[in-house]
Structure 1
């Protein structure tokens, strides 16, 4: 009599537990059941029915009729990508991790710009195959888990959390004991895991980066929104506080866009993603402006980047990873203000405009020149132009008379 073998798949485990009815419906609607059956080893962090019902996007998706979904969106990109963020294509040998350990996993979520507008046409490849590529240089999105003390427990008990930060904080709790099948593991969790946002969105949501958010031109923020595979080391607010007040005034003016683009470029790399577990004792990272940042993961004071302390590390984003640092990562004397930039910072932009109109900018851009400049502020020039007070207005822009007057 032939031997009969039986196996228990993730789909079997989900079907056997009434807590996963809603999740199973989502997997069916997004055509991910074949994915689960195809994987030779898998771990699923499974939101319970209550978690699904609290998630507005998934609830609206489940409320739609099948025919409506097929007619308007045959890809279901957003829901599918979020589900893939809950799935690993390997079986964890142990879960949860040991206490005081922050474990990092690679999910099957490959961030990419979603298909827009939704198309009724079938996907270009079988929908049960997650497509590599995307905005992390062919890497999938990472996910962390940790075990920490339960603050509400009086007996010192611990609890496992998924989607924690680099310090093992925050995250969603594991609410059901892990269940093993045949080369698979099912872990019940209390909330839907949200895929990481873009670097730009995360930067805007980080209180310690509020100064940079206030001064950064929109064009650079758009780059942080869309450019793929970025490793970003951004100075926190107190790092900018050490600058001379006039330099900060200049950076806060509308005339500093080019300098701000350069400053941010000195803190951004676009090569292989710079997660902190890839840092060594003497790691060199080339930025998009060409300078090399020196990363030391063996410093007694913790990880340092060109001498600055790494404060927040490994903030995962859809298009890269964010670290914050304690100081600006600029070489000494690489950013200084000439007289023109001082004038712009001190609200003398109209006077600078007059100099530019007659090609006298060398008087205020030459770092070695020594002049005493008597420059009227913009509001003073406005009064002179409108009232003739003080002997009338300057000659017309671009004229020899103006050039003689300014000299």
Structure 2
């Protein structure tokens, strides 16, 4: 049976948040586990990241179509396995050349971030290890297709390692309401082996309508020797001008790029927000119906959640603009997984896989957190995102096994599926 969560967004005619209610048996069965979770494992990719009319803002058709209640197993039909063993090649000879030269090692490929638009999912495949042939990919979703092939996006030519006009290592991506894909390329490869600085960091914007690169932003002027770029968020002002925010954990900053104005700012965060800068700086953007945006951010080890309004970020005003939202429930470390395009944020606790939702228009306390998915035994969620068929989706992987060389020849176990809630009965 399907469960629809009625929240503020739905009452204000925002994108409906639909979460499946199903038994855990409807989930894809996880691969055998080799290790148990613990609170000190690296369970998030950022933990090792370097120094219009018929469609809504996410590209979904604005009809009232839902998965039928008569569908006996709706989740299984919308569960997609992503693997380094299933890449799209122009021909077998090209694949053989890459394998023989060491430029393709299937077990070293992992998907860490994703963005959905209509029937396409765009994925980031950071070059954490040697043998990742491309770092930005696309998968076409087809109902019932269990294993989906990943193709380089937008083409092979832009994936050349060592060519600074190409993508080196994309650690995060964001697709904005106008269909522009923004890729955060840190320029550093082999970060889990012997890090190599191939190029300077940059942001690359690609128009998903025609698959053409429309803008490249050199980030050299704003980064420092301590910088560790981890996440990217795109915001639009009320007059429809784009702004890009980048989390710089190492420099305790949020970088702001005014795309139309050609300006950039560094918002230095107060020391109180960062117990240590050798940490993950999570951030996610919420928006109210009137267009007011708020960026929520927190370091993994910080005991508190913070926010800053988009109107202050867009003019480079950090001093006096940061709000202490509150203490994290139970004193646990939180992994901020994403937002729904409205006022809801999603997160899990470190080392745990249950996903919680919090409406940012309510007080930040345990009583206002909704448990929207019970996790499995082997994979941990790395992202929650809105997308295909107007559902909330979750990207999961055994990233902790990947960085510990415990995935075996088949590589990481990666799954993308709708957020699922266990039935009460």
TM-score range, shorter chain: under 0.3
Structure of larger gyration radius: 1
- Looking at secondary structure, tell me which structure has more helix per residue: 1
Q: Which has the higher contact order (CA 8 A, sep 6+)?
A: 2
TM-score (norm 2): 0.23
- Looking at secondary structure, tell me which structure has more strand per residue: 2
